[in-house]
Structure 1
Amino acid sequence: MKLRKKIVVDCIISHLFLVKQAMIELLENQPLETITPDRGKDFSKHAEISQELNLVELHLT
């Protein structure tokens, strides 16, 4: 049971990393002032995304 839980957690962490990387790649050369994503778990890395995009403010709805 512990192995299954670890696999699930590892998959979630990988997913969050991929979403973060995709957002940064799509937005990094855009003229941005703010970003307002939805409230999904995908955006739990919002502080790291903001840092990568030169401290663009993220407003969580």
Structure 2
Amino acid sequence: MTYVDAKPLNAAEIRRIEQRAHELRAQAVTKVLTQIVRTLFSATRKATSCPSCARPLRG
């Protein structure tokens, strides 16, 4: 069994850790939302470019 002797963190270190965690969460959310938007636009583009789905031209 290992024993870890960790020193207590001070308030500044805790704030720094929380700030970094917030940055990482923001990056992750941005990445997920970007991928969702890309997927939606890609699906829309594919659906409208499909010849069987396209509206016939009338004129």
Q: Which has the larger radius of gyration?
A: 2
Structure ranking higher on relative contact order (CA contacts 8 Å, 6+ apart): 1
- Give the structure with the larger strand fraction: 1
- Give the structure with the larger helix fraction: 2
